[in-house]
A and B are shown apart, each in its own frame.
Chain A
């Protein structure tokens, strides 16, 4: 069974890069360019992983994360958050909100992929 990731990212070039990297490792990548109904899509799709940008049109990554974490049926779903703002405060907020991993842009491709592997180890057959 193919691994399924929902990527919420408004920068087309970044989304393309991530899509390329994950695709090479066999992931099926579903990309959303804004945060409007990201939570709904994720709830319906129940993906193996969510990659979430913070600064998004519509809803911020934090808001989407809060929605996901308040839904018991999604308990344990790994969420990787990416931010270009890179302030310590954001990291604390993200950890408090129950993020699985928090990464600052720009990232090394290898760093990203090992994070994905770690987060999904044991969950994905």
Chain B
């Protein structure tokens, strides 16, 4: 017989061994060594085995002894998920890694717009839901210890001893968890030590169970055929399981794998490599199979060997003990101890992270109004919060154990927990697969599901007249029969578990779905929703959310140091600065940087808290329309479509407008044509009138003096010349306007052109005009048609001679370079073109002078055409004084390419 002291010593040695393993693992991880083991798929798979708690270790045998093969469902659910739905897990892991998620509460809160309300709800629900589970571990350890303490194996244990043992077990577990989980201050590190310890414990419990199984099969029964015969004879082999219960429990255990905080911790948070999931997807079911292999043989032998009334939950221990196999019993005890401790450590770690991140930190941020900028290390607050949470959670487990009488079957307690955490399922799955899921929907679904679970599963578990009075059980709440906790809405005759799972989850899912459809997500929710649902499309995620330059890097640094620790914060800032291309200076607070920092902090304190902390420093969060468009592809598509429509309709109205313009232009052109013809008619008829009249006078009148004859003949002559010139101008203009003109371009000296023009204009002018020039400035080479250019200059000079109304008319010709142009300016000292005529001077027939001008008003129109053909510009520049015309030509020195563009 093993003594209690013996047992305690073995336990302490075992725990010390685990500490050493954990310590070595953590040190190796810190030094970057041993990652072949620490980050191996094997360790990952083994760490998943915390699914198998003391409930599985001891309880499965008890379960089988009581209910036959139904225990298989507990293994079936997770196996189905791992094998069939590993893509859901992959999505969870991807999201968890991309968003630096710290817990299942963090994930749900983050998905629904970093909602603190949801984080708090999920945290409280998780704590309440997992409490029975922790109580279950306490119970199993306590009971197994008491087996060793009392020599009488079959008799009921002393109540007082049990109570004391439970307290000390709870205290021991609390200390164990505190030491393991919060020993080091880096709150955001993955817990390599814990994971390794859990993996070791996984091996211990498997070996222990296999050893007991092997002993039972070969040592007691005498071989496989014998044990099979005994199983056949046993009542266990009777199929006494209803399909509804079978389905419900399989579903519950599958949901639990996804929703249990501790499973989320090892599966998502501690995951190092997404590919590990592929191996775990077959290796973990294999582990579960090995764990379940000898459950039935042990149960059958236990039922045969042990006296009536012995607790079947303890067959794993009591069968070897009763056969004098003390060593094997000790190993079995260690296996159960391992199962319980690993579960409690990871579960309380996960829960304490949730409590500190989602309840304590936000409160602390709110209460200390300077928040993150206050002096002091935020990490100590985090660590203290976690330690307190751990103690609180284990205390809750202890009190639940006391309250529930510690007598319930292990499996029943486990199922209550499963039912509680399964309430997360609709919000969790909806959140990662359905963009339409909203925060309001999640809050509503979770609340209603949780309330129904409490009412139909948790409270009844304390027994009649404990939490709920017997009257409520029989007659329903407030005497309303449809509110009976185990026959809700009149649905009676069902197994209580099936009943509770059915109502809580279906109403939860329905409410979640309906409320989501009828509520509108906030921009942040839509943004997060898009990132979660489309995690495989853009796992890097576009930078968004924070407006640049509002935050100061120093403030961010101070805050980060308090959360991440000085070394890590500095390393992170340095890395970010390097990314921005900065050396030896702090990174600029760009939106990308702040986004990265938020993720980094989220890994320590959760998304909602990190968001709030950054918000304190940066100020408001900004989500631009572009952000939403970039990620929210549905809305982006709608937006795009509507913007396309907008573009189309704009194009249409533009086209209509263009057509309108074109029509107007045509009308104008038609009008212009009429006016032009009318003008031409006038210009032709006017000289013809004089010619006809005077020629008739010369022909018909008698007695004309020779002087009269000569005068009239010369009038006819000059009017003929005027007609001819008019026709020449018209033809010239027509040719220029049609672009049929051939230009004879060559390199010419501007001086020569001006010289030629001035000489010609002066010779034909009736009036003498003083012309002032600066020859040196005119020495510019231009590539142009010199005759055409001279024609323009002649026209301008002649106009000055004709229209300048100064007493002594003077024309200044100045030439200069301006950027790529040569500018030739002509300015006279007259009164210039009247304002109302200034923008008409280049129009055809725009005669602005008094009637005495002899031109038809085509000269400047021709000039404009010529200069345009030559690639230049001509303009009238009102400068308050006389008439000023400027001609701009391409400067050949500046642009040798001009001649290439000259092809007309």
Contacts of B852 in A (CB 8 A): 12
Tell me how far the C-beta of A51 lies from the nearest C-beta in chain B, rounded to whole angstroms.
Answer: 13
Q: Is there a chain A Cβ closer than 8 Å to B183's Cβ?
A: no
Q: Which of B191-249 contact A (CB under 8 A)?
A: none
Tell me how far the C-beta of A83 lies from the nearest C-beta in chain B, rounded to whole angstroms.
Answer: 8
Q: Is there a chain A Cβ closer than 8 Å to B5's Cβ?
A: no
Q: Quick check: which of A42-50, A63-71, A84-92, A117-125 contacts chain B, the rest being far away?
A: A84-92
A interface, how many residues as a size bin? Answer: 20 to 34
Contacting pair A33 B690 (CB below 8 A): no
Q: Is there a chain A Cβ closer than 8 Å to B719's Cβ?
A: yes
Contacting pair A108 B850 (CB below 8 A): no
Q: Is there a chain A Cβ closer than 8 Å to B655's Cβ?
A: no
Cα separation A57 to B847 with both chains bound (whole Å): 10
Tell me how far the C-beta of B60 lies from the nearest C-beta in chain A, rounded to whole angstroms.
Answer: 112
Task: Given A14-B690, A34-B850, A85-B678, verify A108-B685 contact (CB < 8 Å).
Answer: no
Contacts of A33 in B (CB 8 A): 851
Q: Residues of B within 8 Å of A, CB-based: how many?
A: 23
Tell me how far the C-beta of A113 lies from the nearest C-beta in chain B, rounded to whole angstroms.
Answer: 11
Contacting pair A13 B690 (CB below 8 A): yes
Task: Given A13-B690, A108-B692, verify A85-B851 contact (CB < 8 Å).
Answer: no
Contacting pair B678 A13 (CB below 8 A): no
Most A Cβ at <10 Å: residue of B687, B690, B701: B690
Contacting pair B851 A106 (CB below 8 A): no
Q: Which of A12-42 contact B (CB under 8 A)?
A: 12-14, 16-18, 20-21, 24, 33-34
Q: Which of A14, A56, A85, A104 is B693 in contact with, Cβ under 8 Å?
A: A14
Contacting pair A85 B681 (CB below 8 A): yes
Contacting pair A16 B715 (CB below 8 A): yes
> Closest chain A residue to B685 by CB distance?
A84
Contacting pair A34 B851 (CB below 8 A): yes
Contacts of A109 in B (CB 8 A): 693, 696-697, 700
Cα separation A55 to B697 with both chains bound (whole Å): 25
Cα separation A99 to B701 with both chains bound (whole Å): 30
Q: Is there a chain A Cβ closer than 8 Å to B682's Cβ?
A: yes
Task: Given A57-B851, A108-B696, A109-B700, verify A11-B689 contact (CB < 8 Å).
Answer: yes
Interface membership of chain B positions 671-713, coded 1 if the CB is closer than 8 angstroms to chain A and 0 otherwise: 0000000100111011111111110110011000000000000
Contacting pair B851 A107 (CB below 8 A): no
Task: Given A10-B851, A84-B682, A85-B681, verify A105-B689 contact (CB < 8 Å).
Answer: yes
Cα separation A20 to B686 with both chains bound (whole Å): 17
Contacting pair A105 B686 (CB below 8 A): yes
Contacting pair A11 B690 (CB below 8 A): yes
> Closest chain B residue to A57 by CB distance?
B851
Cα separation A121 to B696 with both chains bound (whole Å): 24
Cα separation A84 to B679 with both chains bound (whole Å): 9
Q: Which of A10, A14, A55, A85 is B689 in contact with, Cβ under 8 Å?
A: A14
> Closest chain B residue to A11 by CB distance?
B686
Interface membership of chain A positions 69-89, coded 1 if the CB is closer than 8 angstroms to chain B and 0 otherwise: 000000000000000111100
Contacts of B719 in A (CB 8 A): 13
Most B Cβ at <10 Å: residue of A20, A24, A33: A20
Contacts of B687 in A (CB 8 A): 13
Contacts of A20 in B (CB 8 A): 697
Cα separation A110 to B700 with both chains bound (whole Å): 10
Cα separation A14 to B686 with both chains bound (whole Å): 8
Task: Given A10-B851, A33-B851, A57-B850, verify A85-B696 contact (CB < 8 Å).
Answer: no
> Closest chain B residue to A10 by CB distance?
B851
Contacts of A10 in B (CB 8 A): 851
Task: Given A16-B715, A20-B697, A34-B850, verify A107-B692 contact (CB < 8 Å).
Answer: yes
Task: Given A13-B715, A14-B686, A109-B700, verify A87-B678 contact (CB < 8 Å).
Answer: yes
Cα separation A57 to B715 with both chains bound (whole Å): 22
Cα separation A86 to B687 with both chains bound (whole Å): 14
Contacting pair B692 A106 (CB below 8 A): yes
Contacting pair B682 A17 (CB below 8 A): no
> Closest chain A residue to B688 by CB distance?
A106
Cα separation A20 to B705 with both chains bound (whole Å): 13
Contacting pair B678 A105 (CB below 8 A): no
Tell me how far the C-beta of B209 lies from the nearest C-beta in chain A, rounded to whole angstroms.
Answer: 116
Contacts of A107 in B (CB 8 A): 689, 692-693
Q: Which of B572-617 contact A (CB under 8 A)?
A: none
Contacts of A57 in B (CB 8 A): 850-851
Contacting pair B850 A84 (CB below 8 A): no
Tell me how far the C-beta of B682 lies from the nearest C-beta in chain A, rounded to whole angstroms.
Answer: 4
Cα separation A10 to B683 with both chains bound (whole Å): 13
Q: Which of B871-899 contact A (CB under 8 A)?
A: none
Contacts of A21 in B (CB 8 A): 693, 697
Interface membership of chain B positions 153-186, coded 1 if the CB is closer than 8 angstroms to chain A and 0 otherwise: 0000000000000000000000000000000000
Tell me how far the C-beta of A28 lies from the nearest C-beta in chain B, rounded to whole angstroms.
Answer: 19
Contacts of A86 in B (CB 8 A): 681, 685
Contacts of B683 in A (CB 8 A): 84
Tell me how far the C-beta of A91 lies from the nearest C-beta in chain B, rounded to whole angstroms.
Answer: 13
Contacts of A106 in B (CB 8 A): 685, 688-689, 691-693
Cα separation A74 to B661 with both chains bound (whole Å): 48
Task: Given A85-B678, A87-B678, verify A17-B685 contact (CB < 8 Å).
Answer: no
Tell me how far the C-beta of B715 lies from the nearest C-beta in chain A, rounded to whole angstroms.
Answer: 5
Q: Which of B707-729 contact A (CB under 8 A)?
A: 715, 719
Cα separation A74 to B221 with both chains bound (whole Å): 149
Interface membership of chain B positions 848-862, coded 1 if the CB is closer than 8 angstroms to chain A and 0 otherwise: 001110000000000
Contacting pair A84 B697 (CB below 8 A): no
Cα separation A12 to B851 with both chains bound (whole Å): 9
Cα separation A10 to B849 with both chains bound (whole Å): 12
Contacts of B678 in A (CB 8 A): 85, 87
Contacts of A104 in B (CB 8 A): 685
Cα separation A33 to B850 with both chains bound (whole Å): 10
Contacts of B686 in A (CB 8 A): 11, 14, 84, 105
Tell me how far the C-beta of A39 lies from the nearest C-beta in chain B, rounded to whole angstroms.
Answer: 18
> Closest chain A residue to B847 by CB distance?
A57
Tell me how far the C-beta of A15 lies from the nearest C-beta in chain B, rounded to whole angstroms.
Answer: 9
> Closest chain B residue to A13 by CB distance?
B690
Q: Which of A56, A84, A110 is B681 in contact with, Cβ under 8 Å?
A: A84
Interface membership of chain B positions 635-670, coded 1 if the CB is closer than 8 angstroms to chain A and 0 otherwise: 000000000000000000000000000000000000
> Closest chain B residue to A20 by CB distance?
B697
Cα separation A17 to B715 with both chains bound (whole Å): 10
Contacts of B691 in A (CB 8 A): 106
Tell me how far the C-beta of A53 lies from the nearest C-beta in chain B, rounded to whole angstroms.
Answer: 10
Tell me how far the C-beta of A47 lies from the nearest C-beta in chain B, rounded to whole angstroms.
Answer: 21
Contacting pair B685 A105 (CB below 8 A): yes
Contacts of A84 in B (CB 8 A): 681-683, 685-686, 689
Give me the 3 closest cross-chain CB pairs, A-B, nearest first.
A10-B851, A84-B685, A17-B693
A–B complex contacts, Cβ < 8 Å, 15 sampled: A10-B851, A13-B690, A16-B715, A20-B697, A21-B693, A34-B850, A57-B850, A84-B683, A84-B685, A85-B681, A86-B681, A105-B689, A107-B689, A109-B693, A110-B696
Residues of A within 8 A of B (CB): 10-14, 16-18, 20-21, 24, 33-34, 55-57, 84-87, 104-110
Residues of B within 8 A of A (CB): 678, 681-683, 685-694, 696-697, 700-701, 715, 719, 850-852
Q: A21-B693, A106-B688, A106-B693 are in contact. List 11 more A-B contacts (CB 8 A).
A: A11-B690, A14-B686, A14-B689, A16-B715, A21-B697, A84-B683, A85-B678, A86-B685, A87-B678, A87-B681, A109-B693
